[in-house]
Chain A
């Protein structure tokens, strides 16, 4: 599926005081994908990242980039070919946003105008308002600063992006936005991203491959997130993944395969015959939609009187899931939160596509797990759905 861009070969980092930060680590970081190093503090994940751009030199072992030993080129040339994003962004507080982003292009000898034009282009790409170009970092929020950090790392269009806990210092809502943005940018640009985090949810969400590391600089497991969740290598990985890994794994299964029921649905202007016909199918509840087909709420069939359906008296339908786009996890969540135990599926236009019971979702999960076991490393598995 991918080529290998960075190969870490038997790398050990030992400090003069005897501390071993990374212990005989070997792994291959695939091209044009996001590889996440995750683990508790002191597991050597940041040390590993910093050995890739030689901010830390390994005690033993070699690292190759595109087949070439990274020590074979001048260190600053190597670093300028790798974007670097850091916690709290690490922006140059004395430079405007546009000049921060233009740093590496300027180092590479671009003219000021060309570098600034490129910087403005990148601001747009990372979702920053162009009006911020002349501002200084202190005038931006934490999330905006982090976007500038990403834009600065991308400025010279490096093939590799190193990200050291880039989203750890922002609040959860902003973090989710930044993660989604990173995935979107990655879809457009296809960089080789090495990402360090201590947050396993973040790792599972954004990683194409996840390297779980444990204290002492040992690699515990290196696998795609779906495989990590289904087959943790040992008790440490299982524990690190947390108690609800079964539920979280559902994120990797699409809701497209769910069989939706379209019978227990009536429009708000339904005739008495339509109501009677739909109730005759034996459904305990009917979903009432507006005239456009958007969900209004649930009701017992007996409580509905043709021509006099009061939307205010219906049971809330909860948040619907988008059929085919959202994952089984989202579908199950909708069913669990629904007062009737039935989840509402909608299409991209927000109109009801059908309804599905917890029981049906449960069967789909069992089927998906069975398939997942037979082909755990399936390429489709690696895509996060919703």
Chain B
């Protein structure tokens, strides 16, 4: 196993590890962006109950739009760039984040909220000091699904001219009849997803020392298995 195993065709103008870095950047920036956008949307849905069903409906519709359709529209504005790949990924993450945050914030017991109000915490303090920390396990559960799914979806960026990170190797593998490149792409993507997921599990353990041991999953029924969701996404 010399360095030759990781050699990749020169048309990609990158090393394997360069592609890994690109892949991570294209996968993670949309997740962070999606989270930032989803937090205020979810808070609105918590405060205005009637808003939640239509918002869920819209995020689901957006999720149903194939990324290719997004690319066709976006290329006119953002060209054949990473941005064009990242925008749909960020939009897709909303379908996971909004319900995760809404359910997490709603899971804060009424008496805890009453106690916070009665102690003189205004709405802003109550949100940041009580609701958000208690919703953290649910939000991190959503973050796991969104991250793993985003990592697998980046590959599709290959279609707009080698903007798919490790996915670019799939195309080269076919052109040059080199199964090795396909393996490098598929296994590399899977390893990234598994590592990212493991880091998020570790993050959850670190930020929730207050949860009873053995019940670190807040709502096991509602929480989809991240890897399974990713496989479903990969089929898109």
Binding site for B on A (CB under 8 A): 53, 55, 75-80, 82, 84, 86-96, 103-104, 107, 136-138, 149, 152, 162
Contact = CB atoms under 8 A, between A and B. Distances in A.
Contact of B120 (A94, A95, A107, A152): A107
B138 to A, nearest CB: 13
B218 to A, nearest CB: 11
Given A53-B118, A79-B119, A104-B119, A92 B130 contact: yes
Given A89-B111, A92-B112, A104-B119, 18 more contacts: A76-B122, A80-B120, A86-B114, A87-B111, A88-B111, A89-B115, A90-B111, A90-B115, A91-B112, A92-B115, A92-B130, A92-B134, A94-B136, A95-B210, A103-B119, A107-B119, A138-B210, A138-B211
Contacts of B111: 86-90
B210 A77 contact: no
Main secondary structure of the interface of A (DSSP, over half): mixed
A107 B112 contact: no
B15 interface: no
User: Chain B CB within 10 Å — which of A80, A94, A137 has the most?
Assistant: A94
29 contacts: A55-B114, A55-B117, A76-B121, A79-B119, A80-B120, A82-B118, A84-B118, A86-B111, A87-B111, A88-B109, A88-B111, A89-B115, A90-B111, A91-B112, A92-B134, A93-B112, A93-B210, A94-B130, A94-B134, A95-B210, A107-B119, A107-B121, A136-B209, A136-B210, A137-B210, A138-B210, A138-B212, A152-B119, A162-B118
B134 A76 contact: no
B208 interface: yes
User: Chain A CB within 10 Å — which of B114, B117, B119, B134 has the most?
Assistant: B119
A55 B118 contact: yes
B133 A80 contact: no
Contacts of B125: 107
B112 A90 contact: yes
Nearest to B208: A94
A221 B115 CA distance: 29
Contact of A90 (B109, B120, B134, B210): B109
A371 B55 CA distance: 71
Contacts of B120: 75-80, 104, 107
Contacts of A103: 119
Contacts, number: 68
A215 B196 CA distance: 58
A91 B208 contact: no
A82 B115 CA distance: 12
Contacts of B208: 94
A85 to B, nearest CB: 9
Contacts of A89: 111, 115
Contacts of A107: 119-121, 125
A165 to B, nearest CB: 11
A340 B89 CA distance: 87
A200 B65 CA distance: 63
B212 to A, nearest CB: 5
Contacts of B212: 138
Contact of B119 (A80, A87, A94): A80
A84 B134 CA distance: 21
Contacts of A91: 112, 115
Interface in B122-146: 122, 125, 130, 133-134, 136
Main secondary structure of the interface of B (DSSP, over half): helix
Nearest to B116: A92
Nearest to B209: A136
A86 to B, nearest CB: 5
A93 B109 CA distance: 10
Contacts of B133: 94
A86 B210 contact: no
Contacts of B210: 93-96, 136-138
Nearest to B110: A90
Contacts of B209: 136
A84 B119 contact: yes
Contacts of A88: 109, 111
A88 to B, nearest CB: 5
A76 B116 CA distance: 11
User: Chain B CB within 10 Å — which of A55, A86, A90, A162 has the most?
Assistant: A90
A53 B114 CA distance: 11
A103 B130 CA distance: 11
A376 to B, nearest CB: 36
A60 B165 CA distance: 67
Contacts of A84: 115, 118-119
A91 B121 CA distance: 14
A79 B209 CA distance: 30
Nearest to A138: B212
B114 to A, nearest CB: 6
User: Chain A CB within 10 Å — which of B112, B208, B211 has the most?
Assistant: B112
User: Chain B CB within 10 Å — which of A75, A76, A82, A162 has the most?
Assistant: A76
A162 B112 CA distance: 16
A96 B209 CA distance: 10
Interface in B93-119: 109, 111-112, 114-119
Nearest to A85: B115
A76 B114 CA distance: 13
Nearest to A88: B111
Contacts of A95: 210
Contacts of A87: 111
User: Chain B CB within 10 Å — which of A91, A92, A137 has the most?
Assistant: A92
Interface in B206-226: 208-212
B182 to A, nearest CB: 46
A259 to B, nearest CB: 52
